[in-house]
Amino acid sequence: MIPTLKELLEARERISGYVAKTPVLRSDNLDDILGARAWFKCENLQYSGSFKPRGAFNCVLQLPASQREQGVCTHSSGNHGKALAMVASKLGLPAYIVMPQNAIRAKVEGVLLWGGQIFYCDNTNEARAEALSRVEKETGAIFIPPYDYPPTIAGQSTVAAEFLEQVESLQVLLAPLGGGGLLSGTALSAKYFGGEVAVIGGEPTGADDAFRSLNSGKLVLSHQPKTIADGLRTTLGRLPFRILKEEKTEVLLADEEMIIQAMKLIWKHLRVIAEPSGALGLAVALAHPDKFRGKRIGLIISGGNIDLDLPLPWQQKPQ
């Protein structure tokens, strides 16, 4: 079921005491580079370092107390797992997180910091599903889906709903696209609260399953991503696909070099850290300048969880 306007409004009310109203930043220098007026919604400054607590809180807070007591579980490349561990900690619940063995260290540490218990698996959909099923059976925990679930999408929609109140008369909203929870929520908020604002998803060239899905009209399930943007390596979910298809949401691509350049520019001009996935909006705007020239654009920096013990991507020597 696609979340309704009523459910979007209820989600915002439900999570209002649990998540931060994140700031919007801008830079005249970035405007000059883009040839546009740009505002950046900093979900990298959200609790747990990404937008993910919005959906996680909206899901968990709707569970009956008898179900909550069993704990919660999920699969995640990092940010959703970290967010769910934080949500569980705040609500006094156990959290069990299935993560790929190649998960980013900073995200693994984030899950552990909030008391989450990690179960590692191979980096395949089959291994992930098998590990999650085993965790559910062994613990009795309730599965909280990271993106392909109406309450998750309703929670993520609050990012754009907030953004549209903070900045008037935006013509375009840009958000990264992996599983599709954030972008489909953004599309729904734009539909109900955004007037004529267009919604565009940013996807890595090396993980372009959503681009191919929306252009062909059929969900692409075979997927071998190769991108620095670890949060966007997952396949597009069925419900987000349906929403994005119905709302005629456009997806644009950016290559690895452009993603790294966007991360660097965000640090240089906004003085905040964006993880590769979080920089996709700016990467796409840089890669397709004619699409945005002269417009008022809003870009969602979805997260900032990177390993600060390693050189930042633009500081690393080419292999």
- Give the span between the Cα atoms of 263 and 183, in whole angstroms: 20
In the chain, the amino acid numbered 44 is: N
The packing angle between helices 150-166 and 53-60, to 10°, is: 130
pLDDT, tens digit, 9 for 90 and up, residues 79-107: 999 999 999 999 999 999 999 888 888 88
Answer CATH for 53-143 from 3.50.50.60, 3.30.360.10, 3.40.50.1100, 2.40.50.140: 3.40.50.1100
Contact by Cβ (8 Å): 285, 313: no
CATH class of the domain at 5-51+149-315: alpha beta
Helix axes 79-91, 105-113, angle to 10 degrees: 10
Q: What's the predicted TM-score (pTM) here?
A: 0.94
Alpha-carbon span 129 to 95, nearest angstrom: 17
* Alpha helix segments (H runs only) across the chain: 5-15, 28-34, 53-60, 65-68, 79-91, 105-113, 125-139, 150-166, 181-193, 209-216, 238-246, 256-270, 280-287, 289-292
End-to-end, the C-alpha distance of the chain in Å comes to 46
Q: Where in the chain is the domain with CATH 3.40.50.1100?
A: 5-51+149-315, 53-143
pLDDT tens, residue order, the chain (319 aa): 999 999 999 999 999 999 999 999 999 999 999 999 999 999 999 999 999 999 999 999 999 988 898 999 999 878 999 999 999 999 999 999 999 888 888 889 999 999 999 999 988 878 889 999 999 999 999 999 999 999 999 999 999 999 999 999 999 999 999 999 999 999 999 999 998 999 999 999 999 999 999 999 999 987 788 999 988 988 999 999 999 999 999 999 999 999 999 999 999 999 999 999 999 999 999 999 999 999 999 999 999 998 877 766 767 765 4
What digits encode the pLDDT tens for the residues 50-74? 999 999 999 999 999 888 989 999 9
